[in-house]
């Protein structure tokens, strides 16, 4: 199949050269499967096979693009798309800078992250995994929700600048299992990200759910008083906050436009906690990495923060062109974000619950609907969800109603950061708006931040 | 193609499917232009076509979609197989509310097809807007045009056949600037829907020019302003933020699939329960809300939903009491059965998919608040002792059951003794949903009512982005926490 893709792209390149066009082609193919559960039933079982081709045409400093959903047999339609893009480019407006046309210096094919056993896992196997995880945990009032999303994703690119091309293929799965009380409206959740079939671990999912369920079914819920808390965040919350940090801190183009809470003077300065190190590392297969960006730049481990020192902005090609910077190989559908683990030997929920504590600790595994309140100050807001616990100083555990945090990322990853767990794991952050783009962020299992203010406390879940 | 689809539907019915429908998109086209600080950063178009097949078998759904129509029977078989495995885990077998068999055609109203406007003319519009936004205090200028046009042919196993041709035109302006402390502020213009149509005729140069000047002026006022105080005050929400308040804390909580727990794996639930219908005082007596898919000029109007149900105008909240929900054929049957009473008399026609390769789910249509009797904006300000006027969405975050919220706004003006005194920056407000709507003490008259659109409402797995509308007046809520 990979050969057919490259042959087709080659034929389209030949067509473009014959017509005297300057173009680049970006190919995306997905084979997506999603089994969705709700109210303890399979509420939807779906699959889509889609091929997208995006043509970008260049004429001097003018640029235009045309995208289509197509299939490999429709060569004439694709050629028409190339013609349309070129016609648009003629009538477009010159940019005030010279835009870069991708140039691939050698052909790069990477299918090492593709596991056919995972991408074609059967409907029966998916259902069996869910049944195994929640066996005996559902009741008339506690219902199963969740997804098993899996598939194969192929991206490829070529341009008229060289005969070489790139192609990268990966398999992925995201498993989310939720148990919720249909009257009380609490929810607990366990999740897993897989790049190959052997990554799936139903026993771990079950252990996580069982531990949370124990507290949610036995303990009375409490509305927490407003005030300051020492908070342990779980993988989902950490991944969400890191994603926002990537967006409003480390993006060079956004910094130049004023959307970042960091600036060029912060480079090589200590901005965060000594404990905080954060990388873009395409060597981590769990992140569904791109080892070339779509301009052909080889991607290597890229330090954003090392021991609290801000190291560099990430520059997308177009921003680098506009602002006269060196591109850093970050023009990819997603980055391979990795936060380094720490020294705290707390690597499971059970160990966290048993950790001796000098104060109450609020455990927030998941932050719902986070958004940016003030990008210049790195202030975010979001609410707890999916299994928060208040670990009392006296060793007991209380189930809290959900709370809202409104806080600066400079505090969360700064001096208020108390400890980071040793263990790191991939947390799947894939969204399926538009083209499939499997994404994971490697995060520590837990991270404690002290003295954070709860700005709203619910009187119900 | 249509005959092939009908033959396949019959074939699956013969295999035991209780219901089958297809949405064939012969075309869906987009055209997008984005100018940022005078650079035409994006000039793009797209096209797609394909078929989505939905099969109900033994009370469970299967869905499959493809753009490759060379083997249409395999596509239908895949959808059937997906339903067959889903039928192995059923707790409440899907039943569909009754509907009439319909053969119909709907075309969204427009006078000028935006796809027939030359690219050069569109670019000229953006250049003119960019020029007007290029003023002192403005560091970032963003002007965008987005157009979509699609043909959808719906066919189901109950004999319905509906063709829809829907065209939308969206144009936005945005300016950003930095205050003396380096804080970024923004001001947008997303034009309210005027007139009766949805085409290029709404991209009115003079109207946009006036508003370009206004948002620059208001941005500069914000840049010079003091920080919004932390305080408890009356908030007066203009349509530019009132639409979002309505969207997030009335629209989403009243989607019946959320209420029934179908979004708990991702988007979240709703604090509303089936017991609440006809009982819950959602808001004060001044609050009347309807889901009106019959407005001609809004993207929340589409003729027929993707269950083949005609557009309707239904009450959701009547003088503060919860009376209705946003529903499709499946959920009303399940809700009535679970409630052991008839809450819903049939689907409200709100089941929609964002493309041929996504399955229909409950989506907002136009969730509108009736205009009130409390006069103009000036009247409401005059009758407010201590308040703040807020406009423009800057950030929004809502609890997982939509029970509480935190919104950041672009612009705020303090009100003292019935008069606007000064602008403030970084104005935010927060609250608990039901308490907030019950603190509604003034609803502006028709002069304050505007139809705002949402072009990026996300929901579902696989995720879907939907377009819809909100017709809202200026509203005042008492004793709200601001500035946090």
**Looking at chain B, which residue has its C-alpha nearest residue A95?**
B39
User: Looking at residues B427-451, what average pLDDT do you find?
Assistant: 97
Give the strand order in the sheet containing A309-310: A309-310, A302-306, A278-280, A337-339, A440-444, A424-428
CA distance B354 to B362: 11
Q: What is the pLDDT of residue A59?
A: 95
CB B476 within 8 A of CB A51: no
| pLDDT at res. B51 | 96
User: How many domains are there within chain B?
Assistant: 2
pLDDT at residue B265 tops 90? no
Query: Can you give the CATH number for the domain in which B71 is found?
Result: 3.30.2290.10
pLDDT, mean of each 10-residue run, chain A (461 residues): 93 98 97 94 93 96 95 93 96 94 96 92 95 96 95 97 96 96 91 95 95 91 95 98 96 94 97 98 96 96 98 98 97 97 95 93 96 94 94 94 95 97 96 86 98 92 82
Instruction: Answer whether residue B383 shows pLDDT above 80.
Output: yes
Q: Return the residue in A26, A34, A41 with the most chain B beta carbons within 10 A, the one to mutate for interface testing.
A: A41
Mind giving me the DSSP string for A243-307?
HHHHHHHSBHHHHHTT--S--GGGTTSB-S-TT--EEE-TT-GGG---SB-TT-PBP--EEEEET
Cβ atoms < 10 Å from Cβ of B274? 18
Note whether B216 and B239 are same-domain residues.
no
Q: Which of B190, B224, B258 is the last residue of a domain?
A: B224
Same domain, yes or no: B409 and B376 = yes
> Are B233 and B128 found together in one domain?
no
Q: Which of B203, B224, B245 is the last residue of a domain?
A: B224
What residues in A contact B118, CB-CB < 8 Å?
Answer: 91
B17-45 confidence digits (pLDDT tens): 999 999 999 999 999 999 999 999 999 99
ipTM value of the model? 0.93
pLDDT in tens, A264-281: 999 999 999 999 999 999
B184 and B244 co-located in one domain: no
Q: Which residues, 6+ apart, have CB-to-CB distance to A428 below 8 Å? A: A172, A174, A191, A192, A193, A438, A439, A440
Nearest CA distance, A356 vs chain B (angstrom): 31
Mean pLDDT, to the nearest integer, of B207-231? 98
Q: Which residue of A has its CA nearest to B45?
A: A66
What is the domain range of residue B205? Answer: 2-224
A chain contacts of residue B396, beta-carbon cutoff 8 Å: 369, 371
Q: Do B64 and A48 touch (CB under 8 A)?
A: yes
State whether residue A406 sits within 8 Å of chain B by CB. yes
Q: What pLDDT is attached to residue B455?
A: 92
CB contact under 8 A, A41 and B43: no
Q: CB–CB of B399 and A40 under 8 A?
A: no
- Shared domain for B16 and B122, answered yes or no, is yes
B-contacting residues in A 286-325 (Cβ below 8 Å): 318, 322
Assess whether B205 and B283 both reside in one domain. no
Reported as a single tens digit per residue, the pLDDT across B410-423 is: 999 999 999 999 99
User: Which domains does chain A carry?
Assistant: 2-218 (3.30.2290.10), 221-457 (no CATH)
**DSSP one-letter code for B276:** G
Q: Tell if the CB–CB gap between B81 and A97 is shorter than 8 Å.
A: no
One domain for residues B124 and B233: no
Mutate to test the interface with A, among B27, B33, B36, B47 (most CBs of A within 10 A): B47
- What's the pLDDT score for residue B234? 98
In sequence order, what DSSP letters do the residues of B94-128 get, joined into one string?
---------EEEEE---SS-GGGS-HHHHHHHHHH
pLDDT at B50 over 90: yes
- Within 10 A of B92 (CB to CB), how many other CB atoms are there? 16
B203 and B254 inside one domain: no
Cβ <8 Å between A95 and B40: yes
Establish if A347 touches chain B: CB-CB under 8 angstroms.
Answer: no
pLDDT at A26: 98
Find the helix or strand (DSSP H, E) in which A411 lies.
Answer: helix A409-412
Residues B243 and B211 in one domain: no
A65 and B43: CB-CB below 8 Å?
A: yes
**Beta carbons of B160 and B105 less than 8 angstroms apart:** no
Predicted local confidence at residue B293, as pLDDT: 97
Does B249 lie in the same domain as B161? no
Single out the residue in B162, B189, B224 at which a domain terminates.
Answer: B224
- Indicate if B304 and B452 belong to the same structural domain: yes
Q: What percent of chain B shows pLDDT beyond 70?
A: 100
pLDDT number for residue A461: 82
Contact A149 B461 (CB under 8 A): yes
Using only C-alpha atoms, chain A has a radius of gyration, in whole angstroms, of 24
| Residue B43 Cα, gap to closest chain A Cα (Å) | 5
CB nearest to A93's CB, from B40, B404, B484:
B40
Say yes or no: B362 and B238 in one domain. Answer: yes
- Determine whether the interchain pair A38/B85 forms a contact, defined as Cβ–Cβ distance below 8 Å: no
Q: Which of A153, A457, A34, A113 is nearest to B462 (CA)?
A: A34
d(CA A459, CA B430): 15
């Amino acid at each position: 199949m990979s050969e057919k893709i490259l042959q087709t792209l080659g034929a389209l390149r030949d067509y473009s050269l014959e017509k005297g066009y300057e173009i680049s082609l970006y190919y995306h193919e997905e084979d997506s499967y999603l089994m969705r559960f709700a109210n303890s039933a399979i509420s939807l079982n779906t699959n889509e096979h889609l091929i997208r081709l995006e043509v970008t045409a260049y004429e001097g400093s003018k640029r235009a693009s045309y995208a289509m959903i197509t299939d490999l047999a429709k060569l004439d339609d694709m050629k028409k798309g190339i013609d349309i893009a070129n016609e648009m480019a003629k009538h477009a407006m010159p940019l005030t800078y010279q835009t870069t046309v991708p140039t691939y210096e050698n052909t790069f094919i990477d299918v090492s992250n593709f596991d056919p056993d995972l991408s074609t896992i059967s409907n029966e196997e998916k259902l069996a995994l869910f049944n195994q995880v929640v066996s005996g945990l559902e009741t008339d009032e506690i219902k199963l929700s969740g997804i098993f999303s899996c598939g194969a994703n192929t991206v490829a690119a070529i341009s008229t600048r060289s005969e070489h091309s790139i192609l990268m293929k990966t398999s992925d799965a995201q498993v989310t299992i939720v148990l919720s009380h249909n009257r009380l409206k609490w929810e607990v959740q366990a999740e897993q990200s897989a790049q190959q079939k052997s990554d799936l671990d139903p026993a771990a999912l079950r252990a996580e759910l069982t531990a949370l369920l124990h507290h949610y079914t036995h303990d009375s819920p409490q509305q927490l008083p407003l005030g300051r808390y020492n908070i342990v965040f779980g993988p989902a919350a950490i991944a969400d906050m890191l994603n926002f940090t990537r967006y409003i801190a480390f993006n060079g183009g956004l910094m130049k436009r004023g959307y970042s809470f960091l600036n060029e003077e912060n480079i090589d300065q200590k901005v965060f906690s000594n404990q905080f190190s954060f990388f873009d590392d395409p060597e981590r297969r769990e992140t569904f990495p791109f080892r070339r960006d779509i301009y052909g730049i080889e991607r290597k481990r890229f330090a954003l923060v090392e021991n609290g020192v801000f190291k560099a902005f990430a520059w997308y090609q177009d921003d680098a062109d506009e602002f006269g910077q060196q591109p850093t190989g970050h023009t990819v559908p997603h980055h391979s974000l990795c936060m380094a683990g720490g020294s705290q030997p707390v690597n499971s929920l059970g160990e966290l619950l048993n950790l001796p504590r000098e104060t109450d600790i609020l455990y927030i595994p998941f932050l719902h609907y986070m958004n940016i309140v003030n990008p210049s100050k790195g202030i975010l807001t979001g609410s707890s969800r999916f299994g928060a616990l208040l670990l009392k100083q006296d060793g007991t555990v209380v189930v809290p109603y959900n709370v809202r945090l409104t806080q600066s990322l400079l505090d969360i990853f700064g001096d208020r950061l108390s400890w980071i767990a040793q263990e790191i794991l991939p947390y799947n952050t894939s969204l399926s708006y538009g083209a499939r783009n499997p994404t994971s962020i490697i995060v520590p299992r837990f991270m404690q931040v002290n003295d954070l203010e709860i700005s709203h406390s619910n009187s119900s879940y | 193609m249509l005959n092939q689809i009908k033959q396949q539907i019959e074939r699956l019915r013969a295999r035991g499917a209780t219901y089958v429908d297809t949405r064939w998109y012969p075309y869906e086209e987009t055209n997008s232009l984005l100018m940022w600080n005078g650079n035409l950063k994006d000039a793009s178009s797209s096209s797609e076509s394909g078929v989505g097949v939905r099969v109900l078998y033994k009370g469970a759904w299967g869905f499959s979609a493809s753009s490759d129509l060379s083997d249409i029977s395999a596509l239908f078989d895949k959808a059937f197989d997906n339903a067959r495995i889903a039928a192995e885990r059923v707790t409440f077998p899907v039943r569909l509310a009754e509907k009439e068999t319909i053969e119909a055609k709907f075309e969204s109203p427009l006078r000028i097809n935006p796809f027939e406007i030359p690219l050069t003319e569109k670019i000229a519009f953006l250049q003119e807007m960019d020029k007007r936004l290029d003023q002192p205090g403005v560091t970032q200028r963003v002007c965008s045009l987005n157009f979509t046009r699609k043909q959808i042919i719906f066919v189901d196993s109950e004999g319905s056949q509906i063709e829809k041709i829907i065209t939308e035109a969206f144009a936005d302006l945005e300016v950003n600037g930095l205050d003396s402390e380096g804080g970024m502020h923004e001001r947008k213009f997303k034009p309210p829907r005027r007139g009766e149509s949805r085409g290029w005729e709404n991209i009115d140069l003079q109207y946009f020019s006036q508003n370009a000047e206004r948002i620059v002026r208001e941005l500069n006022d914000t840049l010079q302003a003091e920080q919004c105080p932390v305080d408890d005050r009356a908030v007066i929400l203009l349509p530019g933020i009132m639409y979002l308040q309505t969207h997030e804390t009335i629209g989403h909580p009243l989607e019946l699939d959320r209420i029934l727990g179908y979004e708990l794996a991702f988007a979240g639930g709703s604090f509303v329960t089936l017991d609440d219908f006809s009982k819950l005082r959602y808001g004060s007596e001044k609050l009347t809300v309807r889901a009106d898919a019959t407005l001609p000029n809004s993207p929340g109007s589409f003729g027929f939903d993707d269950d083949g149900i005609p557009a309707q105008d239904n009450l959701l909240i009547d003088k503060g009491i919860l009376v209705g929900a946003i529903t499709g054929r499946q959920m009303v049957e399940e809700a009535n059965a679970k409630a052991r009473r008839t809450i819903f008399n049939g689907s409200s026609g709100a089941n929609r998919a964002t493309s041929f390769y996504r399955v229909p789910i409950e989506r907002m249509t136009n969730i509108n608040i009736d205009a009130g009797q409390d006069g103009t904006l000036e009247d409401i300000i005059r009758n407010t002792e201590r308040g703040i006027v807020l406009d423009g969405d800057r950030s929004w975050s809502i609890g997982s059951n939509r029970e509480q919220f935190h919104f950041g706004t672009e612009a705020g003006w303090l009100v003292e003794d019935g008069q606007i005194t000064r602008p403030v920056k970084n104005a935010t407000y927060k609250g608990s949903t039901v308490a907030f709507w019950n603190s509604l003490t003034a609803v502006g008259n028709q002069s304050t009512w505007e139809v705002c659109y949402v072009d990026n409402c996300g929901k579902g797995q696989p995720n879907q982005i939907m377009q819809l509308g909100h017709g809202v007046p200026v509203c005042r809520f008492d004793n709200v926490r601001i500035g946090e």
